[in-house]
Structure 1
Amino acid sequence: MTKNFWRTWGVSIAAGILILLAFLTGDVDITGGHDHGGGWNHIVLADYLLLAATVVAGYQIVVSAVRALRIKHISIDLLVSVAAIGAIILGNFWEAAAVTFLFAIGGALEKATLNRTRKALSDLVDSAPETATKLNPDGSTETVELWELIPGDTVLVKNGEQVPVDGRVLSGRGGVDEAQITGESVPAEKAEGSDVFAGTWLRSGLLRVEAVGIGSDSMLAKIIHRVEDAQDDKARTQTFMEKFSQWYTPGVMVVALVIGLITGNVELALTLLVIACPGALVISIPVSIVAGIGRAARDGVLIKGGEYLETAAKVDLVIVDKTGTMTNGRPELTDVISLDSAYTEHDVLTLAARAETASEHPLADAIIRGARNRGLEIEHVEIAEPVTGKGIYAEVDGHRIAVGSADLLDGEVDSAPILKLNELGRTAMFVGVDGWAIGVVAVADTIRDDAPAAVKALHDRGIRIVMATGDAERVAANVAAELGIDEVRAELMPEDKLDIVREYQEKGHTVAMVGDGVNDTPALATADIGVAMGAAGSPAAIETADVALMADKLPRIPYAFGLARRTVRTMRVNIAIALLTVAVLFAGVFAGDVTMALGMLVHQASVLLVIAIAMLLLRPTLTEDEVTAPRAEAVREAVNS
């Protein structure tokens, strides 16, 4: 067994063996003392074994209690220490052994559970690479320690190897498993110019990578640092409970002392000390926070800490940008219409794309890409004439092709198709041959495949969505209508988003702002929760945002809020269980049905229960990949029909 195992469970196992040996003597009576009368007058072997078990299990408890007293803090350990020592003085060795043994087991369980809930962090730490294959200028390779590398060095990554540094692919192609960074289960395709991150794994291919971030400068190191800080950060509820226990624990000691003096029943007073231990109450919140933040980290969602986790659970309004957030952020070919029966849609698109090969306009690239995606062969033209603000003329197979506004065509032109497409938020252009309109092509910034699923998931959680964009009102309204977004604020300046955040906060909303962590910094900082999307590769986003989504996946937004709500709900359930357990035990003690050992057993059972409930947060629940693209396509088809 490992050293960590014995460090966690060694004391409990040793004490348990001594208690078992005491029972094997046949002299232990769990109702009090032993069958020879009990107490110090007739001490037997079983009592010595129980005393030894008490010392083994209780030594560290007493030490912890004394250390807490030195800093003027009355801890739970003090309650147990006083109860165990009192039981020994009364000669009730079984009660003393049982109380300290069960408390030691509870402490070991808490430690083991917290270690397990921190597994997301330990997995990240374990995944940090230690060596790299350096490619020298003469073409030779050597294995070096990470600290021997400097930015600008070239490292070689082979199939099945770990990427040792943050860097940029110089050559090669392969699929990289980035689950440790982004939470994505599907390998990301990498080629020349792609960014790669330390700690990820090359599952296919071969890459030559220029080192950019090494060791503590890598994205993995920054994520580890963020998760460490977040799991140690306390929620407001946890801070309140700790303050509560500072008054509760000494209050219990005073009450037990008063009851003991009034009744003359010392054992009753000591039993009250044991059953009043707020162990389940104290552990219920931190174990939930660590589990929730750990689960989120494994799914590529970094939450800044317990306080932000609690706030995220209250979010009822999300403000999002349009371009690059709800849409793909670049124009795509959306429509091809033939206006002349002599030309098919493919003919129209081919002529338009060939003419646009001579243009440097951003929309030209969308038309060319659209044509090639449809399997059309597009040859470059040699003779072309751009017309500023109107479009382009080009010579194609002896014909004068025009792509742009009606001003490039001869005679009267029916603008109805253009106007209809413009109303849908698309940029439409005529395609003409020798002055006559033969068709129309249109481009637009298309909606992301995962946007409909994200919007639905947010609505399912009762969260209202406001789209704030600098784009034109007509374009924004069409996108919002297609997605079912609740409200649109268009034609905004960057500083206007800050005013919108404040406006909704004044109306009583808990507001989340989704941005890139840099351009929207004022609004992100003012919002109750600032969410940075696609934070992998952006240290600034990780540091400034309250919630950082490592992958550029919209469904991670409702997932993060859903996980926060589950975590807070778990905290509340655990608090209720802890308080109910103490209340029931108090009633049982005064009814004469609860002994000191039984009280500690029930108390530790409640600790185990709240831990088990908190650990349910570790179950994977992220299923976004199953519902994104198919649903998006279905929504678009329904809208278009």
Structure 2
Amino acid sequence: MNRRQHSWWRGPWGVPTGSGALILLAFGVARVLGSDAVSNVFMVAAALVAGVPIAVKAVRALTAKVISIDLLVSVAAAGAIVIGEYWEAAAVTFLFAVGHALEARTMNKTRSALAELVAVAPDVAVVLRDGEQVEVPAAAVRTGETVLVKNGAKVPVDGEVVAGSGALDEASITGESMPAEKVEGDLVYAGTVSRGGFLQVRATGVGADTTLARIIHRVEEAQDAKAKTQAFIDRFSTWYTPGIMALALVVGLVTGDVVLALTLLVIGCPGALVISIPVAVVAGIGRAAKDGILIKGGEFLESSARIDVVAVDKTGTLTEGRPYLTDVVVLDPALDRAQVLTWAAAAEAGSEHPLARPVLAAAVAEGVGTPGLPEVTEPVPGKGIVAVVGGRRILVGNAALLAVEGVADTVGAALTAHRLAAAGRTPMIVAVDGAVAGVVAVADQVREDAAEMVRRLHAAGVKKVVMLTGDAPLVADAIGAVTGVDEVRAGLLPEDKLDAVRELQAQGHTVAMVGDGVNDAPALATADVGVAMGAAGSAVAVETADIALMGDNLLRLPEAIGLAKRTVSVMRQNITVALVTVTLLLAGVFTGGVTMAIGMLVHEVSVLVVIANAMRLLRRRDDTTPRAQAPQKAPTAPVELATR
């Protein structure tokens, strides 16, 4: 026997194949030789081949104080042999063994997403050591080493591109089918595949510390975690199984019909009911993982199907999170644009605030030099910054800063700032030596798919999309108008976002909070479902979020909710099929129309129906929400990133 044949017989199909062969042999002997005695020997052998593994499982369950379905079948098969119903015993055990094999095969197939993730994990890496290229196991790469990624090779580590350029297929991490261009400074992830170019990557995550390893770990946990419905079914079967045994015993004693009692044991097996939930959960989570949607477990899959309110953070979620300078308004006739930008950049050179970076970047891009670092830098929380550069006192901030510093606004700076804020920008008034020079404005860009995400959320059954932001109301309202969110709550601190989520829950809503997994941690933890955006590379998000969208694609959110609704629908359909089948079979037994073998056959067919129904979840859908019309590109209105 070769290795492949040996593997077959040791696999899930070995037992039913052996039992089925003996049953065919028994029928052949009866037909050819006309010997019922020899035929019965083969039937008993077939029952033993299929029944012994079932009995072993039943005994193991009993040692754990669990009365399992296997015990029902074992008792029924043994009783059938005792009373001389050899064909019934063989048929019941054979069909049950086939059911087990189909269940094992299906569960393996539904776990295919995990198997594919494991398969893409790289085995080797080419690193530069002492100036030479050395091939080592991927797990042997040390943090900080330079790894070479050539065309067609898998990236063996998480890291940062330090030289070269190329295109990487990141489908295993983000679910995106289009290769992503990578240049110096970009991040790359283990398990992605080079589709062209040559990259030198400084390793920042190796072995178990890579994003791919964390995804595999999370999917393993998620597929083993039980949904609430599954836990209920398990508790139900714990009482149901001994109940059926007691019913069979009572019926046997009352009627004196042992065959009827044994038939009840077989017919009452809730196999389809027990498998109905886990097979759907595993299939749903596996499909999501293939699409770059990481769901923590069955409980959150069920919760996601009930979401009717989605609360979203703004920066990095509805917006791109990359601010840039949008406006330089000159208000002092003696100055020009370059001079206003120069003074603003000179003051911001000593600031660590996020708004400083786009001002400095614009100054460099426009070739505007600064006099150097400020001699004095004094942040004024909530108002701006005061700096002394070359002996000149510079203010950069809001109208309240001018009032505090006693600077008169004689040129309409406050009105200009108000107009810019209403357009979705973050204005900063610039004053030099007590006189207003102008206003600069910084903005973030609304994501092109933000409005489409909101539309699809509504189509998926979400009643309300709420934006929670710490930004000024004028800016927040501008973003709300562009993206189509139903409600805007602005000027919120992290604890205010937490209170907002609790308020929505108190109104009876099932709330999903979407954020970056760090700044919005309190609200994410309190929401019924916490969703981390763009979680690839973020260990915190992958480990703590209920759902992590591994790519930076907003449309994954309605896709996740749509998939959750489909999965819960499949669960309900499976439970209905299982309960209706058992009810009809029990009725058929009492009316005399269902035998033990027929009952087990129908029972196994119901298991197949449940399995096939769950496997529909493995099919890829390009859009899990209905589309009323072709998507329209959302206006890319600029957005305030942060306030001082």
Counterpart residue type for residue 494 of structure 1: P
Paired position in structure 2 for 1:76: 69
> Match for 2:161 among 163, 169, 192?
169
Paired position in structure 1 for 2:203: 211
C-alpha distance after superposition, 1:269-314 (max 9, x if no partner) = 1111111100000000111111111111111111111112111211
Paired position in structure 1 for 2:447: 448
43-52 or 192-201, which deviates more: 43-52
Shift of 1:633: 2.3
Q: In structure 2, what is the Cα distance between the partners aligned to 1:301 and 1:212?
A: 24
Q: In structure 1, what is the Cα distance between the partners aligned to 2:134 and 2:172?
A: 26
Paired position in structure 2 for 1:258: 250
Paired position in structure 1 for 2:481: 481
Paired position in structure 1 for 2:423: 424
Shift of 1:330: 3.0
Q: In structure 2, what is the Cα distance between the partners aligned to 1:133 and 1:383?
A: 44
Q: In structure 2, what is the Cα distance between the partners aligned to 1:99 and 1:352?
A: 88
Contact 1:534-1:553 at 8 Å conserved across structures: yes
Paired position in structure 1 for 2:172: 180
1:562 equivalent to 2:549? Answer: no
> Match for 1:63 among 56, 66, 75?
56
Paired position in structure 2 for 1:299: 291
Shift of 1:537: 0.8
Contact 1:449-1:632 at 8 Å conserved across structures: no
Contact 1:349-1:441 at 8 Å conserved across structures: no
- Structure 1 residues not aligned, in runs of 5+: 29-34, 37-41, 339-347, 373-377, 392-402, 432-438
Shift of 1:455: 0.5
Counterpart residue type for residue 12 of structure 2: T
Q: Provide the secondary structure at the position in 2 that maps to 1:315.
A: coil
Q: In structure 1, what is the Cα distance between the partners aligned to 2:355 and 2:221?
A: 45
Shift of 1:147: 3.8
Q: Provide the secondary structure at the position in 1 that maps to 2:237.
A: helix
Counterpart residue type for residue 113 of structure 2: A
Paired position in structure 2 for 1:342: none
How high is the TM-score relative to the length of structure 2? 0.83
Paired position in structure 1 for 2:81: 88
Q: 1:295 to 1:328 in 2, by over 3 A?
A: same
Paired position in structure 2 for 1:550: 550
Q: Provide the secondary structure at the position in 2 that maps to 1:554.
A: coil
Aligned length: 594
1:201 equivalent to 2:193? Answer: yes
Contact 2:451-2:634 at 8 Å conserved across structures: no
Paired position in structure 1 for 2:641: none
Paired position in structure 1 for 2:135: 143
Contact 2:338-2:368 at 8 Å conserved across structures: no
Q: Provide the secondary structure at the position in 1 that maps to 2:491.
A: coil
> Match for 2:110 among 117, 130, 143?
117
Paired position in structure 2 for 1:19: 23
Q: 1:624 to 1:212 in 2, by over 3 A?
A: farther
Paired position in structure 2 for 1:106: 99
Paired position in structure 2 for 1:462: 461
Residues 181-330 of structure 1: matches in 2 within 5 Å?
181-330=173-322
1:587 equivalent to 2:594? Answer: no
Q: In structure 1, what is the Cα distance between the partners aligned to 2:88 and 2:468?
A: 66
Q: Provide the secondary structure at the position in 1 that maps to 2:199.
A: strand
C-alpha distance after superposition, 1:519-543 (max 9, x if no partner) = 2222211111111111111111111
Q: In structure 2, what is the Cα distance between the partners aligned to 1:220 and 1:479?
A: 35
Contact 1:317-1:510 at 8 Å conserved across structures: yes
Q: Provide the secondary structure at the position in 1 that maps to 2:323.
A: strand
Shift of 1:390: 12
467-476 or 299-308, which deviates more: 299-308
Q: In structure 2, what is the Cα distance between the partners aligned to 1:45 and 1:190?
A: 72
Shift of 1:224: 0.9
Contact 1:320-1:513 at 8 Å conserved across structures: yes
Contact 1:79-1:273 at 8 Å conserved across structures: yes
Q: 1:90 to 1:359 in 2, by over 3 A?
A: same
Counterpart residue type for residue 277 of structure 1: C
Counterpart residue type for residue 474 of structure 1: L
Counterpart residue type for residue 13 of structure 2: W
278-287 or 590-599, which deviates more: 590-599
Q: Provide the secondary structure at the position in 2 that maps to 1:297.
A: helix
> Match for 1:49 among 42, 48, 70?
42
Q: In structure 2, what is the Cα distance between the partners aligned to 1:517 and 1:367?
A: 27
Q: In structure 2, what is the Cα distance between the partners aligned to 1:78 and 1:594?
A: 21
Q: 1:405 to 1:527 in 2, by over 3 A?
A: closer
Shift of 1:444: 3.0
Contact 1:51-1:97 at 8 Å conserved across structures: yes
Shift of 1:250: 0.7
Paired position in structure 2 for 1:394: none
Q: In structure 1, what is the Cα distance between the partners aligned to 2:506 and 2:545?
A: 22
Shift of 1:216: 1.5
Q: Provide the secondary structure at the position in 1 that maps to 2:107.
A: helix
Q: In structure 2, what is the Cα distance between the partners aligned to 1:415 and 1:152?
A: 50
Shift of 1:544: 1.3
Counterpart residue type for residue 450 of structure 1: D
Counterpart residue type for residue 447 of structure 2: R
1:380 equivalent to 2:367? Answer: yes
Q: In structure 1, what is the Cα distance between the partners aligned to 2:286 and 2:609?
A: 20
Q: In structure 2, what is the Cα distance between the partners aligned to 1:583 and 1:405?
A: 73
Q: CA RMSD in A?
A: 3.7
Contact 2:283-2:615 at 8 Å conserved across structures: yes
Paired position in structure 1 for 2:490: 490
Q: In structure 1, what is the Cα distance between the partners aligned to 2:321 and 2:563?
A: 28
Q: 1:568 to 1:413 in 2, by over 3 A?
A: closer
71-80 or 16-25, which deviates more: 16-25
Q: In structure 1, what is the Cα distance between the partners aligned to 2:456 and 2:126?
A: 44
Counterpart residue type for residue 218 of structure 1: T
Shift of 1:616: 0.7
Q: In structure 2, what is the Cα distance between the partners aligned to 1:585 and 1:510?
A: 39
C-alpha distance after superposition, 1:121-170 (max 9, x if no partner) = 11111221121112122x21121123432212221111100111111211
Q: In structure 1, what is the Cα distance between the partners aligned to 2:213 and 2:385?
A: 51
Paired position in structure 2 for 1:501: 501
Contact 1:465-1:486 at 8 Å conserved across structures: yes
Counterpart residue type for residue 268 of structure 1: L
Q: 1:176 to 1:583 in 2, by over 3 A?
A: same
Q: Provide the secondary structure at the position in 2 that maps to 1:8.
A: coil
Shift of 1:425: 2.3
Q: 1:256 to 1:414 in 2, by over 3 A?
A: closer
Q: 1:353 to 1:584 in 2, by over 3 A?
A: same
Counterpart residue type for residue 204 of structure 2: V
Q: In structure 1, what is the Cα distance between the partners aligned to 2:197 and 2:345?
A: 33
Q: 1:150 to 1:307 in 2, by over 3 A?
A: same
> Match for 1:131 among 115, 124, 144?
124
Shift of 1:631: 3.5
Q: In structure 2, what is the Cα distance between the partners aligned to 1:169 and 1:287?
A: 41
Contact 1:331-1:443 at 8 Å conserved across structures: yes
C-alpha distance after superposition, 1:10-66 (max 9, x if no partner) = 1111111111222233549xxxxxx98xxxxx8422222211111111110111112
Contact 1:355-1:381 at 8 Å conserved across structures: no
